[in-house]
Structure 1
């Protein structure tokens, strides 16, 4: 996932991204809303909801 300046924010784990990857390959765009964030050791875990932009 990237912000509007092109900075990488994170990724969606492989076991959860098959449908998104296929839709992106077909030229679809998505946006996300942050629902929760918490530190797990040195990592900031961010939970998001992802939406298809029509």
Structure 2
């Protein structure tokens, strides 16, 4: 089983598990990844306002000409970048199937390499 297919299976399993545990209010982290394209969007200008744990909005961009599974990441209405193309298959599949996801800033680092500056955490939450 390839990595992308395994991720899809795991996220769906996590969603089923959460449905069973909804009364306990559990959520399961299904992805932690760097933010792609940080340097090309509003992230650098907002850097001093961003905090670890801040809520992020995931927006599916199925019509994106560069990636049909694209998921843009927003903070308070400002586009910060994208989930990496190599890691967005499971999350895009979950979004397309109507699963509820929650995203947060997992880590912020003062790094010259923009790929290392911000990590995004994605969780499946009970519906």
Specify the TM-score bucket, using the shorter chain as the normaliser: 0.5 to 0.7
The yes-or-no answer on 1:49 pairing with 2:121 is yes
Q: Which structure 1 residue ranges, 4+ long, deviate > 3 Å from structure 2?
A: 39-44
The yes-or-no answer on 1:25 pairing with 2:96 is yes
Calculate the TM-score normalised by the size of structure 1.
0.66
Distance 1:30 1:2 in 2: 14
Computed over aligned residues only, the root mean square deviation of the Cα atoms, in angstroms, reads 2.2
The yes-or-no answer on 1:2 pairing with 2:55 is no
Q: CA offset at residue 11 of structure 1?
A: 0.9
The alignment partner of 1:23 has SS state of helix
The alignment partner of 1:27 has SS state of coil
**Paired residue total:** 53
Distance 2:107 2:74 in 1: 18
Larger radius of gyration: 2
Higher relative contact order at CA 8 Å, sep ≥6: structure 1 or structure 2? 2
Which structure shows the bigger proportion of residues in strand conformation?
1
- Residue segments in structure 1 that go unaligned for 5+ positions in a row: none
Which structure shows the bigger proportion of residues in helix conformation?
2
